[in-house]
C-alpha cells in the first residue's frame, strides 16, 4: 500500500493538469481585415481528425495564402476563447514558403507578443510552448508567401462558445414603409413619387469647393455651399423640401471625398478622406469628414444649431433645422475593393471614421463635428456594405467595444447592398444576374437579421442596393430567356427581390435605381434604372416602373404575414390592421425557364376574389374578378408576380381553415443542416410540435409552451426525411416534411 499510494497521487495530478485541444468555432473569430474570400477559420477547420498531441495529420485548406498583399496584408484575426484559459502549447502546420506568423495575448492595455514563427519548415508541425492565461488571441501573418493550413491550441479547459437565443418573428412593416428607391437629385421627381422612401447619392464635393480648388482654405476654415452649391449652383434646400412636400422620406448617402483634399480634380472622389500620414484607425484622422457631416445635418436635420457654428460661403444664407431629411448615411460601400487601398476602408478604419461622424468620437473631437452633435435624434445610417458582410461588421463592433467608453455601436441603422448574380454578389467575377430565388436572397437576409438579433439588439436592417441591368453587355444583366427580354426579366426579378428581402425580415429595401443616365450605356449598372433616358429625350418609364408602382399601390397598406412554396409556385400572404377583412397574396413561379402553372388552386377564407396583374400603362395594374369555389380560387401562374385580393364574407368550415393554416406555417431552412425554425402565422396557436422519423419514432418534441417561432436543433438527427407535426388549437394537426442533410 505504501508503494502504490505515490503512483495514485501522481496519476491524479496528471489528470488534474491534462491538456485538451481547444475547439474553435467560426463565431469565435474576428477577421480584422474582413477578406471576402477566405475566412481565418481555415486555420481551425480540419481539427476533427486530430486526436493526438503533437498532431500528425496533414491539413490542406489555408488562410488566404495568395490574396492581394496591398489590400489585406498583414492578415490579422482575433480568436475569442470565451473565457480565460491556461494555454499550454500552440502547434502550426508549416507546409512551405516563408512568412512571419505572430501570436499575441491581449493584456490590460496592449497586445503582448507570445511568439513569431518564421515558417521556414516544410510539412512539419511547429510547436510553441505558451503556458499563459489567454482570453483573446491575435494572429498576424505578414506575407502571402508562407502557408500554414492549420493551427492547434491546447489548454487546461474547453472554450466557451457564444450562446444565442432563438430569433424572434420580425415585426413586418407596411409595404409602403418598406419599399424604396435610389435616386440622383436631378432625376424626375414625378417618377420617384411612386415611392415613399428615397436614398439620394450625394457627393461631398458638391457642397465644398467642387473643382474650384485654387486657393481654397479647407479645414478648419471650410466654406460650404448648399443654396447655391459650388460649381453647379444647385439649390439643395429646394430639392429636399420638394421631396418632403410630396410626403417622401429622403436619406442622403454622403459619399466620396472633395477635390480640395488632394489638390486635384482627377480620379480622387472614391479616395478615403485622409491626407498626409494620418493613422486611418484613429477617429481624429477624420476631422474634415465629421465636420462636413455636422454642417450637413445642422442644415437639414430638425435641431436648431447656434449660428456661430455654421460655416458657409458668402453667397449662402444661414439656415438650420429645416427638417427635410429622414436620416444621413456617412459613406457608400466602404469595403469596395476595386479602388485599391486608397479607397478600401478596412473594418477598423471605417469604424474609426464612423465614431467620429456619429458624435465626434463621444465628443472628444469637439462639439462641432459629427451628426449627433448637430441633431441628437437624427437616424445615423451605416454606409451600405458591398455584400451582406457580417464579418466586416463584426470587426467594426469589436473596434467600438475596445475604443468607445460608452460601448455604443455608433449607428442607428444597419445597411447592406446585394446584387443577385451567378457569383453570389459583387465580390467575385459574375457573368450575369440570377433570380433572387436562385441566389437564395431571402436566406441571406434572414442570416443578417439573425446577426442583428444576436449582436445589435435588433437594430433596423436596410438593404439599400439591389437590381439588374437591362443591357445584355454587363455582368449584372437581367439575362434574357424563353420569350422574355431584358426589360421583362428586370421587372419580374425586381418585384421578386423586394418579396425575398421582406420575407427575410429586413425593415426596408431600396432598389437600384430610379433613372438611367443614358440608356444606351453598356457600363455595369448603367441600365439598372426603372426609368430609361437617352438624352436629350425626356425620361420614360420602363416595364419595371409599372411593376414596382403596382406592387406599392396594391400592397402599400399591408404587411407581410407568411408564405407558401408549393413546388415551383411561391405565394406570399399580406394582411392589414386597417383592412382586417381583406387579404392579398402575391403569387409567382420562382423559376427562370418560362414555366407556367395552369389551374393553380389557392385556398381562401372569404367568398370574393380579384386578380390584379401589372401592365404597362396601368399604374395600379389591371383587375379581373375570380370565382371562389369550395374555398379556393383557380388561376394561371407565371414567373411574373400577380396579386390576388381576398375579401367579403368568411368561409367558416373547420376543414377550410385548417387547409389555409397549413399552407402558412413556415419550416425554415429546409433542408436543415443544424437548426431549423417552425414559424406560425401570428394569429395561430399550437399546443405542441413533434418530429417523427420515417419509422414513425418520436425524435423530438417542443413541450407545451409553443412560441410563434420554435427552434428545432437537428444536429443529432440522422440524415433523412422527417415529419414535423404541429398540433393545433382549434384546427386539425398540420404535418410538414423536413429534410435533414449532413
Q: CATH code at 111?
A: 2.60.120.260
* End-to-end Cα spacing for the chain: 53
Q: Cell numbers for 657, please give them.
A: 381553415
Distance CA 146, CA 426 (A): 28
Distance CA 179, CA 548 (A): 9
Contact residues for 3 (Cβ-Cβ < 8 A; gap 6+):
none
Please tell me the least confidently modeled range out of 174-188, 290-304, 624-638, 660-674. Answer: 660-674
Helix (H, G, I), strand (E, B), or coil: what is residue 122? Answer: coil
What is the per-residue pLDDT for 205? 97
What is the per-residue pLDDT for 244? 98
Q: In the predicted model, what is the mean pLDDT of residues 598-605?
A: 96
What is the per-residue pLDDT for 277? 87
Is residue 209 domain-resident? Answer: no
Is residue 390 domain-resident? Answer: no
Is pLDDT above 90 for 385?
Answer: yes
Domains contained in the chain, number? 2
Is residue 25 domain-resident? Answer: yes
Is pLDDT above 70 for 481?
Answer: yes
What is the per-residue pLDDT for 731? 58
Is pLDDT above 90 for 8?
Answer: no
Q: In the predicted model, what is the mean pLDDT of residues 1-24?
A: 59
Is pLDDT above 60 for 6?
Answer: no
Distance CA 140, CA 339 (A): 24
In sign, the C-alpha dihedral spanning 34, 37, 43, 47 is positive
Instruction: Select the highest-mean-pLDDT range: 447-456, 631-640, 653-662.
Output: 631-640
Going by pLDDT thresholds of 50, 70 and 90, the confidence category of residue 2 is very low
Instruction: Identify the burial level of 599 via C-beta atoms within 10 angstroms of its C-beta, where 0-12 means exposed, 13-18 middle and 19 or more buried.
Output: exposed
β-pairing, 583-589 vs 569-575, is: antiparallel
3-state secondary structure 192-226: HCCCCEEEEEEEHHHHCCCCCCCCCCCCCCCCECC
What is the per-residue pLDDT for 162? 81
Going by pLDDT thresholds of 50, 70 and 90, the confidence category of residue 65 is low
What is the per-residue pLDDT for 673? 77
Residue that finishes a domain, picked among 126, 155, 184: 155
Is residue 213 domain-resident? Answer: no
Residue that finishes a domain, picked among 137, 155, 173: 155
Helix (H, G, I), strand (E, B), or coil: what is residue 522? Answer: coil
Percentage of the chain exceeding pLDDT 70 = 95
What is the per-residue pLDDT for 16? 46
Please tell me the least confidently modeled range out of 97-101, 364-368, 414-418, 587-591. Answer: 97-101
What is the per-residue pLDDT for 721? 87
Q: In the predicted model, what is the mean pLDDT of residues 608-635?
A: 96
Give how far Cα 269 sits from Cα of 27, 150, 353, 359, 399, Å. 36, 41, 17, 24, 26
- Residue 709 φ/ψ, nearest 5 degrees: -120, 120
The better pLDDT of the pair 623, 730 is held by 623
Is residue 741 domain-resident? Answer: yes
Residue that finishes a domain, picked among 105, 123, 155: 155
Q: Which helix (H) or strand (E) holds 296?
A: helix 287-300
Distance CA 703, CA 697 (A): 17
What is the per-residue pLDDT for 665? 81
Contact residues for 466 (Cβ-Cβ < 8 A; gap 6+):
417, 418, 419, 420, 441, 497, 501, 509, 511, 512
Distance CA 448, CA 461 (A): 8
Per the prediction, the chain carries an average pLDDT of: 92
Determine how many CB atoms are found less than 10 A away from the CB of residue 632: 18
Torsion of CA 188, 193, 199, 200, to 10 degrees: 30
C-beta of residue 356 within 8 angstroms of C-beta of residue 283: yes
Give how far Cα 700 sits from Cα of 159, 607, 677, 685, Å. 28, 39, 13, 19
Is pLDDT above 70 for 67?
Answer: no
Is residue 165 domain-resident? Answer: no
Half-sphere exposure at residue 406, Cβ-oriented, CA atoms within 13 angstroms? 9
Instruction: Identify the burial level of 334 via C-beta atoms within 10 angstroms of its C-beta, where 0-12 means exposed, 13-18 middle and 19 or more buried.
Output: buried
Is residue 149 domain-resident? Answer: yes
Distance CA 703, CA 219 (A): 64
Distance CA 348, CA 280 (A): 8
What is the per-residue pLDDT for 176? 98
Q: Which domain holds residue 673?
A: 665-742
What is the per-residue pLDDT for 675? 83
Is residue 255 domain-resident? Answer: no
Contact residues for 83 (Cβ-Cβ < 8 A; gap 6+):
135, 157, 159, 160
Please tell me the least confidently modeled range out of 165-169, 236-240, 250-254. Answer: 165-169
What is the per-residue pLDDT for 628? 94
| pLDDT tens per residue across span 103-120 | 999 999 999 999 999 999
What is the per-residue pLDDT for 222? 97
Q: b/e string for 175-200 if b means 16 or more Cβ within 10 A?
A: bbebbbbbbebebbbebbebbbbbbb
Determine how many CB atoms are found less than 10 A away from the CB of residue 369: 28
Torsion of CA 117, 122, 127, 128, to 10 degrees: 0
Is pLDDT above 80 for 4?
Answer: no
Going by pLDDT thresholds of 50, 70 and 90, the confidence category of residue 388 is very high
Domain harbouring 742, CATH code: 2.60.40.1930
Length of the chain: 742
What is the per-residue pLDDT for 68? 75
Give how far Cα 386 sits from Cα of 359, 418, 473, 735, Å. 25, 7, 22, 40
DSSP-assigned letters across all residues of 638-666: -SS-EEEEEEEEE---HHHHHHHHHHT-E
Amino acid at each position: 500500500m505504501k508503494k502504490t499510494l505515490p503512483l495514485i497521487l501522481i496519476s491524479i495530478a496528471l489528470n488534474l493538469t491534462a491538456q485538451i485541444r481547444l475547439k474553435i468555432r467560426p463565431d469565435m473569430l474576428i477577421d480584422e481585415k474582413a477578406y471576402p474570400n477566405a475566412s481565418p477559420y481555415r486555420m481551425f477547420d480540419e481539427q476533427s481528425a486530430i486526436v493526438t498531441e503533437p498532431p500528425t495529420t496533414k491539413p490542406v485548406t489555408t488562410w488566404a495564402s495568395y490574396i492581394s498583399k496591398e489590400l489585406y496584408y498583414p492578415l490579422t484575426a482575433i480568436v475569442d476563447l470565451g473565457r480565460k484559459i491556461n494555454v499550454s502549447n500552440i502547434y502550426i502546420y508549416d507546409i512551405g514558403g516563408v512568412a512571419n506568423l505572430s501570436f499575441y495575448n491581449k493584456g490590460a492595455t496592449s497586445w503582448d507578443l507570445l511568439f513569431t514563427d518564421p515558417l521556414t519548415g516544410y510539412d512539419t508541425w511547429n510547436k510553441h510552448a505558451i503556458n499563459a492565461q489567454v482570453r483573446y488571441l491575435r494572429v498576424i501573418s505578414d506575407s502571402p508567401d508562407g502557408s500554414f493550413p492549420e493551427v492547434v491550441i491546447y489548454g487546461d479547459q474547453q472554450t466557451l462558445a457564444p450562446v444565442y437565443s432563438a430569433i424572434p418573428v420580425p415585426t413586418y412593416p407596411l409595404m409602403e414603409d418598406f419599399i424604396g428607391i435610389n435616386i440622383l437629385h436631378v432625376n424626375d421627381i414625378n417618377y420617384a413619387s411612386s415611392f415613399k422612401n428615397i436614398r439620394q447619392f450625394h457627393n461631398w464635393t458638391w457642397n465644398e469647393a467642387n473643382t474650384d480648388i485654387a486657393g481654397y482654405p479647407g479645414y478648419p476654415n471650410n466654406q460650404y455651399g448648399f443654396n447655391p452649391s459650388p460649381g453647379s449652383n444647385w439649390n439643395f434646400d429646394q430639392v429636399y423640401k420638394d421631396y418632403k412636400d410630396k410626403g417622401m422620406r429622403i436619406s442622403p448617402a454622403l459619399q466620396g471625398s472633395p477635390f480640395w483634399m488632394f489638390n486635384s480634380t482627377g480620379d480622387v472622389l472614391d479616395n478615403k478622406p485622409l491626407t498626409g500620414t494620418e493613422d486611418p484607425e484613429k477617429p481624429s484622422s477624420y476631422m474634415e469628414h465629421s465636420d462636413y457631416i455636422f454642417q450637413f445635418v445642422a442644415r437639414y436635420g430638425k435641431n436648431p444649431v447656434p449660428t456661430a457654428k455654421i460655416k458657409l460661403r458668402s453667397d449662402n444664407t444661414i439656415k438650420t433645422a429645416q427638417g427635410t431629411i429622414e436620416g444621413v448615411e456617412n459613406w457608400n460601400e466602404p469595403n469596395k475593393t476595386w479602388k485599391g487601398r486608397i479607397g478600401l476602408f478596412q473594418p477598423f478604419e471605417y469604424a474609426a471614421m464612423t465614431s467620429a461622424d456619429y458624435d465626434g468620437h463621444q465628443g472628444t473631437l469637439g462639439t462641432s463635428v459629427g451628426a449627433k452633435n448637430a441633431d441628437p435624434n437624427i437616424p445615423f445610417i451605416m454606409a451600405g456594405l458591398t455584400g451582406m458582410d457580417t464579418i466586416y461588421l463584426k470587426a467594426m463592433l469589436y473596434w467600438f467595444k475596445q475604443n468607445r467608453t460608452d460601448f455604443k455601436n455608433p449607428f442607428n441603422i444597419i445597411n447592406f447592398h446585394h446584387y443577385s448574380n451567378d457569383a453570389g454578389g459583387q465580390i467575385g467575377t459574375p457573368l450575369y444576374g440570377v433570380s433572387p430565388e436562385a441566389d437564395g436572397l431571402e436566406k441571406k437576409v434572414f442570416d443578417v437579421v439573425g446577426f442583428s438579433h444576436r449582436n445589435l439588439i435588433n437594430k433596423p436592417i436596410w438593404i439599400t442596393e439591389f437590381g439588374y441591368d437591362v443591357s445584355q453587355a454587363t455582368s449584372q444583366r437581367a439575362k434574357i430567356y424563353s420569350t422574355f427580354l431584358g426589360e421583362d426579366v428586370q421587372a419580374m426579378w425586381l418585384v421578386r427581390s423586394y418579396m425575398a428581402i421582406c420575407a427575410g425580415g429586413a425593415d426596408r429595401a431600396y432598389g437600384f435605381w430610379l433613372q438611367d443616365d443614358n440608356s444606351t450605356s453598356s457600363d455595369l449598372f448603367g441600365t439598372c434604372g426603372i426609368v430609361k433616358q437617352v438624352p436629350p429625350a425626356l425620361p420614360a418609364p420602363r416595364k419595371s416602373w409599372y411593376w414596382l408602382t403596382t406592387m406599392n399601390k396594391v400592397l402599400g397598406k399591408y404587411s407581410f404575414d407568411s408564405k407558401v412554396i408549393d413546388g415551383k409556385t411561391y405565394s406570399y400572404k399580406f394582411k392589414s390592421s386597417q383592412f382586417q377583412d381583406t387579404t392579398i397574396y402575391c403569387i409567382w413561379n420562382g423559376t427562370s425557364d418560362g414555366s407556367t402553372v395552369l389551374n393553380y388552386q389557392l385556398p381562401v377564407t372569404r367568398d370574393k376574389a380579384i386578380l390584379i396583374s401589372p401592365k404597362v400603362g396601368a399604374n395600379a395594374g389591371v383587375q379581373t374578378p375570380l370565382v371562389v369555389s369550395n374555398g379556393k380560387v383557380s388561376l394561371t401562374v407565371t414567373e411574373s408576380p400577380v396579386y390576388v385580393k381576398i375579401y367579403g364574407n368568411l368561409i367558416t368550415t373547420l376543414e377550410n381553415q385548417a387547409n389555409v393554416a397549413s399552407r402558412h406555417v413556415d419550416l425554415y431552412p429546409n433542408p436543415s443542416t443544424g437548426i431549423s425554425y417552425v414559424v406560425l402565422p401570428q394569429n395561430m396557436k399550437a399546443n405542441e410540435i413533434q418530429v417523427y422519423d420515417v419509422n414513425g419514432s418520436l425524435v423530438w418534441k417542443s413541450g407545451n409552451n409553443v412560441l410563434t417561432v420554435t427552434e428545432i436543433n437537428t444536429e443529432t438527427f440522422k440524415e433523412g426525411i422527417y415529419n414535423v407535426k404541429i398540433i393545433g388549437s382549434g384546427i386539425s394537426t398540420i404535418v410538414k416534411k423536413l429534410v435533414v442533410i449532413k
